[in-house]
């Protein structure tokens, strides 16, 4: 897909996303910790990909991790893909929207949180859109 990012050209993504959404979803950026609208969000519902609308996380899997970003212990099955990320000199696991490839954040394991999966999906609020029940 030369020149295209999961079915859309860069100019098409730029037309539908804000500059900050484009920076994070399409260029694998990160929002500053503690600045995202969903970090302390507690309403019941579903968090979808802001790029394509695919449901990614249920509010029942969200927990307070104190990391500065929204944290979830599991995604909706099949909605989130995992990829090795070696950009900072260490291997991390990047998570993306399976449907559009939008960068969501990273997943961390074994941190000792009392969750069913012992995982923390650390997600940029900018990558998400909340839909209440």
Average pLDDT over residues 101-119: 95
Only one residue has tokens 């969200």, namely 62
Q: Which position among 49, 97, 100, 122 bears the catalytic label?
A: 122
- pTM for the whole structure: 0.92
Contact 125, 36 (CB under 8 A): yes
Q: Give the H/E segment covering residue 79.
A: none
Residues 31-46 have pLDDT tens digits of 999 999 999 999 999 9
For residue 22, the SS3 value is helix
Distance CA 124, CA 33 (A): 9
Tokens linked to 54: 């695919």
Q: Are 127 and 103 in contact (CB under 8 A)?
A: yes
- Per the annotation, the verdict on 49 as an active-site residue is no
Contact (Cβ atoms closer than 8 angstroms) between residue 76 and residue 59: no
Residues 80 and 97: beta-carbon distance below 8 Å:
yes
Structure tokens that stand for 123 in this block? 């997600």
Sign of CA dihedral 121, 8, 28, 125: negative
CATH topology assigned to domain 4-132: 2.170.150
Measured CA to CA, the distance from residue 22 to residue 28 in angstroms comes to 9
- List pLDDT tens digits, range 9-26: 999 999 999 999 999 999
């Amino acid at each position: 897909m030369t020149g295209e990012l999961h079915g859309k050209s860069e100019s098409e993504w730029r037309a539908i996303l804000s500059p900050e959404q484009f920076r994070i979803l399409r260029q694998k950026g990160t929002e500053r910790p503690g600045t995202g609208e969903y970090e302390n969000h507690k309403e019941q519902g579903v968090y979808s990909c802001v790029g394509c609308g695919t449901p990614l996380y249920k509010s029942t899997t969200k927990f307070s991790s104190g990391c500065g970003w929204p944290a979830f212990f599991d995604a909706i099955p099949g909605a989130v893909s995992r990829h090795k990320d070696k950009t900072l000199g260490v291997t991390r696991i990047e998570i993306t929207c399976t449907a559009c490839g939008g960068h969501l954040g990273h997943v961390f394991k074994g941190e000792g949180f009392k969750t069913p999966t012992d995982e923390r999906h650390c997600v940029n609020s900018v990558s998400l859109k909340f839909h209440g029940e």
